[in-house]
Amino acid sequence: MSLVPRPAGGAAFPIVARLIPGTMLCLAVSLVATALASLEARVFGRSWLEALVLAILVGTMVRTVWMPGALWIKGIEFSAKILLELAILLLGASLSAQALAAVGPGLLAGIVGVVGVAIAMSYGIGRLLGLRPRMALLVACGNAICGNSAIAAVAPAIGAKAEDVATAIAFTAVLGVGTVLGLPGLIPLLHLSGSQYGVLAGLTVYAVPQVLAATVPAGTIAVHIGTLVKLVRVLMLGPVLLVLSLIAHWLQDDGEDLGQGAAAGDRLAYRLRLHHLVPWFIVGFLGLAALRSFDCVPHSLLSPMATAANWLTVIAMAALGLGTDLRQVARAGLPVASGVTVSLALIVAINFVLIEFLG
């Protein structure tokens, strides 16, 4: 009998082995999506659909013609959950509080207020249109903060279903492209200056690259201000994630039984156990953002961390696509499309009022 102790991690190897096939499948789908995004940029001069969106579309197409079996499921689930949570954690290093000082107290308060009002308003519109609470929250946070990235970040915090995430991202992506194309038309219609339009674009357009595309027609000042406002708006993702993670235990979709007979004392005790309510990746996200604000993250690591976060997100979106049933997406289509469109139109109106108020 051998006296050499067996490695403690040996038992974990079979588990890791079961993750490999599905994870490699998600990686393959993400590589196809990235290649399509690069081809799109070469042909049209820019990527109207990001690799993140294309990964969902390609994954959904694969899922439509082929149902992954037991060999693939563990890796797909791992990619959709753990890899996405790692990506959210790494995103914290891309945010810092330094941008807050450059914006000024008036506009900063306006951005915080607009995001809060936009989430509440969009959620209410979604519920009126018949969306389930989690789907309504996904749409609301996507419209109010940063589109696809916010939806992807909020989903694990509130326990959203893969179908809901894919549906919200699909419709948000389409409307995001339409916003980039149509928003410059408001410049002559509303008599906006370059700085005013920059604020409007930064508060309205979903992604930072899309802000650049939407503000270039208005000049350099619009580009700079739009990008700055957008970055500050993205900073709201951390506080929003924290709040949503704290209320997620009480969030239930229509027809879902979450144990309504639980005693109030038990609920209060659960609320006080914050480690059950605040997911580890949100703590990491906020921690990295704080470290970045104090310049404690080596600058040489910022670019690799951003690249890693981007790739992990794309792989996670491929996993969501591979787990998406198009029939469920189609059934949710009209209410989601209506909710996204109506709430975004109202957000544009609110943003214009803020611009007029700030002068």
For a pLDDT cut of 70, what percent of the chain falls above it? 80
Alpha-carbon span 150 to 152, nearest angstrom: 5
Higher pLDDT, 38 or 176: 38
Q: Where are the beta strands (DSSP E) in the chain?
A: none
pLDDT, tens only, 45-57? 776 677 877 888 8
Local confidence band at 261 (pLDDT 50, 70, 90 cut-offs): very low
Contact 40, 47 (CB under 8 A): yes
Local confidence band at 332 (pLDDT 50, 70, 90 cut-offs): low
Alpha-carbon span 62 to 77, nearest angstrom: 16
pLDDT reported for residue 235: 79
Answer yes or no: is pLDDT of 84 > 90. Answer: no
Contact 56, 317 (CB under 8 A): yes
Higher pLDDT, 174 or 253: 174
User: How far is C-alpha 68 from the chain's CA centre?
Assistant: 26
- 152 phi-psi bin (left φ>0, alpha ψ -120 to 50, beta other): alpha
Q: Which amino acid does the sequence have at 345?
A: A
Task: Flag the least confident range among 38-47, 69-78, 136-145.
Answer: 38-47
Alpha-carbon span 157 to 162, nearest angstrom: 13
Mean pLDDT of the region 332-357: 81
Q: What is the mean pLDDT of the chain?
A: 79
pLDDT, tens only, 311-330? 998 898 888 788 776 665 56
pTM comes to 0.64
Contact 230, 208 (CB under 8 A): yes
Q: Which amino acid does the sequence have at 278?
A: V
Could you tell me the two tokens for 87? 């990506």
